[in-house]
Structures are given as C-alpha cells and as structure tokens.
C-alpha cells in the first residue's frame, strides 16, 4: 500500500511539473515560426520558450560580431500613464538591462557582445487605441515617423521595436497576439533599404514583458544579420 502511495505522489509531481512548463517538448526551431504577413512579406512569430534565449543560435550559425542599435517606439495613448511609463527605461534598453549571466553567455555565442550599443526611445501617443492593429498599419506608422524625421534613419545595425499599449491588439493576417504569438519580427523595404522591426504587444507581468521583448529584439538582430541588405 505504501509503495502504491509513493508511486501516486511521484506521478502527481511529474504531471504538475509538465503543466508548469510551456511547450516542454518544443524544438528550438519551433520557437520562431515563419509566416507570411499582409503584404506577402515574411514575419517571424515569437512563441513561448522554456528558456528565453536558449536555442536561438543554431550549430554553425554564428557569422561574426553583431553590432546592434535599439530604437523603441511606445505606441498608443496608454503609455502616458504613470505605471506604463515606469516600464519604458528597461524596455527601451533591453540588452543593458540583462542581469542573468546565462543570457549574456547566450548572446555572446550568437555574436552579440556589446550590450551597450546606441538606443533611442520615444512615445507616439496620437494613435487611436481600443482596437485591432495590423502589421500594415505598423509599417505605415514607422514610415510616417521616418518621413517626419522623428525616427533615426535605418542602417545595418538598427532594429525598431514597437511596444503596443494595452488597447492596441496586434493582428498578423488571420493570426492574433496572445493566441498564436507573443510578439513578432518582420522587415519592410523602402528605397532599397531593409528595415527590421519587432512588434511587442503588452504583457501585464512586467518581468515576462521584458523577456518577450528581449527575445524579439535578439531574433530580429539574428535575422537581420542573416538577411542581405
């Protein structure tokens, strides 16, 4: 009887451990899924991962040192609130905010060795909220900001990270944030220049929000390095 009871306890603990781990059987190549977006271009979905940065670097995938600039746009009027503005310094400087040496090691292996590259941050509060926002509209916002001169011009190192406020619900074609992805990375071409950007819907938990944004930035940087400009 005692042996059966012990087996029952072990089985319950195992089941509990599996329930707490998102997608425990995922392969590294399943953590970023490539899909077509509204304009026929390619986007990369950021999905749950057991370890935020583990598995990003494929064997033999390192191509050298990756220099990175993070240019952040906090989109939507919700960023005017005190609670959300308090998040902006960490989100606007994702690499310099890393405190986990394991994550630093992962970045070094991927070629990202400088965690203190140039960064810029700005709010864009004049975008109507409480609605869906498509990838095409995200592209229009970025292009408008480039044309106005409010965003730094693109270069080979620049990644533009768009942080959505709580009322902006990201959609990518038929895919919906929160159901099909946590964030995504994509790029657009203009005047012969390829602009890499990431879209990060808001997460209520600030620590989880930081990890998702960090993963989206790193995925964007690695794809930027692998994609001809």
Q: What is the pLDDT of residues 60-80, one digit of tens each?
A: 455 578 899 999 999 999 999
pLDDT at 52: 57
Task: State the chain's mean pLDDT as an integer.
Answer: 81
Residue 17 included in any domain = no
Residue 14 included in any domain = no
Q: What does each C-alpha distance from 146 to 8, 92, 153, 183 come to in angstroms?
A: 61, 19, 7, 22
Residue 20 included in any domain = no
pLDDT at 28: 45
Residue 10 included in any domain = no
Q: What gap in Å lies between CA 164 and CA 177, rounded to an integer?
A: 11
Residue 3 included in any domain = no
Q: Which residues contact 111 (CB under 8 A, 6 or more apart)?
A: 62, 63, 64, 65, 66, 225
Q: What gap in Å lies between CA 20 and CA 223, rounded to an integer?
A: 30
Residue 192 included in any domain = yes
Q: Could you list the residue range(s) of the whole structural domain that residue 129 is in?
A: 25-226
Residues 215 and 77: beta-carbon distance below 8 Å? no
Q: What gap in Å lies between CA 53 and CA 105, rounded to an integer?
A: 10
Q: What gap in Å lies between CA 201 and CA 212, rounded to an integer?
A: 9
Residue 5 included in any domain = no
Q: How many domains does the chain have?
A: 1
Confidence of residue 32 (pLDDT cuts 50, 70, 90): low
Residue 215 included in any domain = yes
Q: What is the pLDDT of residues 194-203, one digit of tens each?
A: 899 999 999 9
CATH number of the domain enclosing 132 = 3.40.390
Per-residue pLDDT at 229 exceeds 60:
no
pLDDT at 8: 42
């Amino acid at each position: 009887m005692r042996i059966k009871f012990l087996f029952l306890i072990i089985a319950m603990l195992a089941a509990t451990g599996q329930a707490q781990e998102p997608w425990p059987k995922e392969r590294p190549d399943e953590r970023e899924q490539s899909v077509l977006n509204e304009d026929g271009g390619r986007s990369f979905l950021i999905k749950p991962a057991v370890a935020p940065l583990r598995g990003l670097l494929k064997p033999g995938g390192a191509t050298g040192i990756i220099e990175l600039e993070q240019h952040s746009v906090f989109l939507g009027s919700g960023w005017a609130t005190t609670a959300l503005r308090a998040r902006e310094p960490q989100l606007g400087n994702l690499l310099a905010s890393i405190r986990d040496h394991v994550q630093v090691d992962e970045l070094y292996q991927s070629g990202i060795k400088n965690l203190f590259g140039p960064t810029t941050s700005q709010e864009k509060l004049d975008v109507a909220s409480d609605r869906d926002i498509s990838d095409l509209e995200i592209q229009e916002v970025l292009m408008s900001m480039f044309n106005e001169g409010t965003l730094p011009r693109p270069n080979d190192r620049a990644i533009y990270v768009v942080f959505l406020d709580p009322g902006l619900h990201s959609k990518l074609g038929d895919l919906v944030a929160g159901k099909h992805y946590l964030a995504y990375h994509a790029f657009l071409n203009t005047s012969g220049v390829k602009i890499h950007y990431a879209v990060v819907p808001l997460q209520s938990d600030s620590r989880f929000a930081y990890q998702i944004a960090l993963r989206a930035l790193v995925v964007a940087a690695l794809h930027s390095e692998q994609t001809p400009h």
